[in-house]
């Protein structure tokens, strides 16, 4: 295997050099805004004015051009970031479908306005689903799709009349159609008791609103627009980089890579090149090394002129140096086998829904590390970029998923859907390409991959993603039968979801080992690719007990987990490279009569992040796996002490 890995290393280095000649990303960058000597950031989080357009045709806001003046009528306070659904006592707003308007007046620092050499950028971290933005009644941008950021330069607009306050209006529409991602369908009710309902094909609440921070930030007029970094190892650490600048007629660039102590370890004055780092500190996953998540800082310094003035811009990008490769039986990080023992998550919590919340994020990271989880998948959509930054720093490995969930209707495999899916992958790769924690792209979850159009759809989508980023493996998550799945030939890693003794053969826990064993043998036998069990689990209402166990009882969840684990333990010696529990925590879904629940209760933690018994079972297991498959060599007695050690 070592020999094979070395061969792969060579191949990877070739890839590394080819990467920047790959398909062009979108025409501008999407660097995370950071304060620097040349740029300021102003958060617009807090209370905004809010009004839902509940007119019968859901279009009155536009007919009456409400964005032209301050919002009037039934305007309420709405926190940003947050989903609006859980904020009031009004069930109609919880379940609202259509346009809502957010509005806020902002005081823009006078020097931002007076200095024509300053770009003022309005950035929305994410808003679900379709957004239109106006500044002082003038439309400045629009964006299709939740989860990912969009931005627009507004300096020239607000300079037109500096005496005017800067009034920002954001209209957000959560309607899903067969061509959105995720897809959905509006159904008009014939009996007219309800005007229409939104049908969805995924198992989580379609939370809506402004979910990530809204910012104003500045850069000089000539600025560092994008940085792409790809790393590898070849005795030394290799950092291949490319810097794109905007609005500079002429200029010089200085790129300096600094270690954690601020010492320069490599530098260059070219806009692209390879930095070599001797005695490199590699980026390692949590529990694979005693110093995981090592990050260098890449300082990019631009001195530029547009012919009339000179500008100086600085951007600092955290860089983790690591390699990723896949063989037919292994996933390698830094040429060492990596076993995913982790979770699937949701961005979901009481009241705020999918709204960004540092307290929740830090709590979740504490729980992940307590449990000994080394990885998660961003099921079923991209998470806030701040979460990936946490993963970079803590060494939590990420399978980064786009919102391609619930592609079940054959019409969602059409050209328009595919074109939008490709755009979303462009946006996702553009945002997340530099995160060392991201080791694989997932382009979809449980699509109807047995349908005939799935073959062309996934071949195109996966090829496009590999063109965007030849350095990371690509997958999608399947629940289809190995013999009928049309997309599997194109993926690098097979990711399979299965719920034996839950959605079928309910109650028959004794069938799990046989069925799971067959699942693995069949997929591996056909495709000879490494396999991740990307979902498995069972609902459990905490505090309910019964022996012998029945469904929805904690003991039942535990036996499901343990039955899966015994098979994983066999197969991980062969080609199974990971196990991700469904789910980290209970989460909200639409209401229904199918189960005793509102909300999915397959969490090993409750929605309030309290452990069920299953969390302790996983904790025991994950620390053991870390010991066996990681490189810490912890004696068992050390598990507890590592588990309780506060890493911050």
Q: Which of 103, 151, 401, 446 is catalytic?
A: 446
**Rounded CA separation 248/206 (Å):** 43
Residue number with CB closer to ligand GCB (182 or 473)? 182
In 433-528, where does DSSP find H-type helix? 453-468, 512-527
For residue 532, the minimal CB distance to ligand GCB (Å) is: 14
C-alpha 250: how far from chain center: 37
H or E element that contains 187: strand 184-188
For residue 560, the minimal CB distance to ligand GCB (Å) is: 12
Distances (CA, A) of 269 to 230, 257, 275, 578: 18, 12, 11, 42
The site string for ligand GCB over 150-189 (x = CB under 6 A, - otherwise) reads ----------------------------------------
For residue 145, the minimal CB distance to ligand GCB (Å) is: 19
How many C-beta neighbours within 10 Å does residue 274 have? 17
The site string for ligand GCB over 358-387 (x = CB under 6 A, - otherwise) reads ----------------------x-------
Residue number with CB closer to ligand GCB (36 or 497)? 497
Residue number with CB closer to ligand GCB (306 or 450)? 450
Listed residue (537, 637, 545) closest to 584, CA to CA: 537
- Beta carbons within 8 Å of 628's beta carbon, 6+ residues apart: none
Residues 210-239 that bind ligand GCB (CB under 6 A): none
When asked if residue 401 is in the footprint of ligand GCB (CB under 6 A), the reply is: no
The size of the interface with ligand GCB (CB under 6 A), counted in residues, is 11
For residue 138, the minimal CB distance to ligand GCB (Å) is: 40
Q: Which residue has the tokens 């036998």?
A: 525
Residue number with CB closer to ligand GCB (326 or 580)? 580
Residue number with CB closer to ligand GCB (308 or 594)? 594
For residue 346, the minimal CB distance to ligand GCB (Å) is: 9
In 150-271, where does DSSP find H-type helix? 155-160
Residue number with CB closer to ligand GCB (142 or 506)? 506
Residue number with CB closer to ligand GCB (249 or 596)? 596
Pairing of the two strands 138-144 and 236-246? unpaired
**Considering only residues 582, 605, 622, 623, which one is a binding residue for ligand GCB as defined by CB under 6 A?**
582
Q: Which residue has the tokens 């970031």?
A: 81
**Considering only residues 529, 602, 612, 639, which one is a binding residue for ligand GCB as defined by CB under 6 A?**
602
When asked if residue 203 is in the footprint of ligand GCB (CB under 6 A), the reply is: yes
Residue number with CB closer to ligand GCB (444 or 626)? 444
For residue 552, the minimal CB distance to ligand GCB (Å) is: 12
Distances (CA, A) of 67 to 51, 104, 141, 428: 11, 11, 13, 30
When asked if residue 475 is in the footprint of ligand GCB (CB under 6 A), the reply is: no
Residue number with CB closer to ligand GCB (339 or 499)? 499
For residue 147, the minimal CB distance to ligand GCB (Å) is: 15
For residue 174, the minimal CB distance to ligand GCB (Å) is: 18
The site string for ligand GCB over 37-56 (x = CB under 6 A, - otherwise) reads --------------------
Residue number with CB closer to ligand GCB (83 or 219)? 83
Strands (E), 36-155: 41-43, 46-52, 76-80, 82-83, 99-106, 118-128, 130-135, 138-144, 150-153
**Considering only residues 446, 554, 579, 586, which one is a binding residue for ligand GCB as defined by CB under 6 A?**
446
For residue 248, the minimal CB distance to ligand GCB (Å) is: 46
Indicate the DSSP class of residue 106. Answer: E
Listed residue (161, 154, 44) closest to 106, CA to CA: 44
In 224-351, where does DSSP find H-type helix? none
The pair of structure tokens assigned to 153 is 């330069």
Answer yes or no: 190 catalytic: no
For residue 22, the minimal CB distance to ligand GCB (Å) is: 30
Backbone angles phi, psi at 448, to 5 degrees: -75, 70
**Rounded CA separation 638/301 (Å):** 45
**Considering only residues 469, 535, 579, 586, which one is a binding residue for ligand GCB as defined by CB under 6 A?**
535
**Considering only residues 151, 364, 479, 586, which one is a binding residue for ligand GCB as defined by CB under 6 A?**
479
**Considering only residues 61, 173, 497, 558, which one is a binding residue for ligand GCB as defined by CB under 6 A?**
497
> 432: number of CA atoms within 13 Å, CB side?
33
Q: Which residue has the tokens 């995370």?
A: 32
Listed residue (398, 401, 385) closest to 446, CA to CA: 401
DSSP 507-572: T-GGGHHHHHHHHHHHHHHHH---EEEEE----B-TT---SS--TBSHHHHHHHHHHHHHHHHHHT
Q: Which residue is nearest to ligand GCB (CB)?
A: 203
Listed residue (554, 50, 85, 45) closest to 348, CA to CA: 85
185 DSSP β-pair partners: 199
**Rounded CA separation 627/193 (Å):** 59
When asked if residue 348 is in the footprint of ligand GCB (CB under 6 A), the reply is: no
When asked if residue 445 is in the footprint of ligand GCB (CB under 6 A), the reply is: yes
The residues binding ligand GCB (CB under 6 A) are 202-203, 380, 445-446, 479, 497, 535, 582, 600, 602
Looking at the annotation, which residues are catalytic?
446
């Amino acid at each position: 295997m070592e020999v094979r890995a070395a061969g792969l290393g060579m191949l990877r280095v070739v890839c590394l050099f080819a990467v920047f000649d790959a398909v062009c990303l979108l025409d501008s960058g999407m660097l995370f805004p950071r304060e620097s000597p040349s740029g300021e950031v102003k958060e617009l989080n807090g209370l905004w004015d809010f009004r839902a357009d509940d007119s019968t045709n859901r279009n009155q806001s536009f007919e009456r051009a409400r964005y032209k003046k301050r919002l009037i009528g039934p305007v309420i306070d709405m926190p940003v970031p947050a989903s609006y659904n859980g904020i009031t006592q009004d069930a109609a707003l919880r379940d609202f479908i259509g346009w809502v308007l957010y509005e806020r007046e902002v005081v823009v620092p006078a020097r931002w306005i007076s200095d024509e050499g300053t770009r003022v950028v309005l950035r929305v971290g994410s808003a679900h689903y379709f957004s239109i933005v106006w500044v002082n009644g003038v439309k400045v941008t629009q964006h299709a799709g939740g989860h990912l950021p969009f931005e627009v330069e507004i300096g020239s607009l607000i300079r037109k009349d500096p005496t005017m306050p800067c009034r920002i209006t954001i209209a957000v529409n959560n309607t899903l159609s067969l061509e959105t991602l995720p897809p959905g369908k509006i159904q008009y009710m014939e009996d007219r008791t309800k005007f229409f309902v939104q049908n969805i094909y995924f198992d989580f609440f379609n939370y809506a609103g402004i979910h990530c921070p809204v910012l104003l930030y500045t850069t000089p007029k000539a600025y560092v627009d994008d940085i792409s970094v790809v790393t590898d190892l070849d005795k030394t650490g290799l950092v291949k980089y490319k810097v794109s600048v905007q609005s500079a007629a002429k200029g010089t660039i200085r790129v300096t890579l600094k270690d954690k102590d601020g010492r320069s370890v490599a530098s260059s004055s070219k806009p692209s090149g390879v930095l070599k780092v001797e005695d490199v500190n590699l980026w390692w996953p949590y529990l694979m090394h005693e110093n995981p998540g090592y990050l260098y800082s890449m300082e990019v310094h631009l001195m530029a002129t547009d012919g009339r003035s000179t500008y100086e811009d600085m951007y600092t990008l955290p860089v983790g140096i690591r390699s990723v490769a896949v063989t037919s039986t292994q996933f390698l990080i830094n040429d060492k086998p990596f076993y995913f023992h982790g979770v699937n998550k949701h961005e979901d919590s009481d009241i705020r829904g999918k709204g960004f919340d540092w307290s929740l994020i830090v709590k979740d990271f504490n729980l992940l590390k307590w449990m000994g989880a080394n990885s998660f998948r961003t099921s079923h959509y991209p998470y806030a970029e701040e979460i990936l930054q946490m993963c970079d720093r803590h060494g939590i490995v990420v399978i980064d998923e786009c919102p391609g969930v619930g592609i079940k209707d054959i019409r969602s495999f059409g050209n328009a859907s595919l074109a939008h899916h490709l755009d979303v992958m462009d946006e996702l790769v553009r945002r997340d390409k530099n995160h060392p924690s991201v080791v694989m792209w997932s382009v979809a979850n449980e699509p109807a991959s047995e349908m005939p159009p799935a073959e062309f759809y996934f071949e195109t989508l996966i090829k496009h993603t590999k063109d965007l980023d030849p350095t990371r493996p690509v997958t999608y998550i399947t629940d289809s039968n190995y013999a009928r799945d049309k997309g599997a030939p194109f993926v690098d890693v097979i990711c399979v979801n299965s719920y034996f003794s839950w959605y079928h053969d309910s109650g028959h826990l004794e069938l799990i080992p046989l069925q799971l064993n067959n699942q693995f043998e069949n997929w591996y036998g056909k495709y000879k690719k490494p396999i991740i069990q990307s979902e498995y689990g069972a609902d459990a209402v905490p505090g309910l007990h019964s022996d012998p166990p029945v469904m929805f009882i904690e003991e039942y969840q535990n036996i499901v987990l343990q039955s899966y684990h015994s098979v994983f333990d066999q197969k991980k010696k062969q080609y199974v490279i990971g196990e991700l529990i469904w789910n980290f925590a209970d989460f909200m879904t639409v209401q229904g009569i199918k189960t005793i629940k509102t909300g999915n209760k397959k969490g090993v933690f409750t929605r309030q992040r309290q452990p069920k018994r299953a969390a302790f079972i996983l904790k025991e297991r994950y620390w053991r796996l870390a010991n066996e498959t990681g490189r810490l060599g912890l004696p068992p007695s050390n598990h507890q002490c590592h588990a309780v050690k506060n890493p911050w």
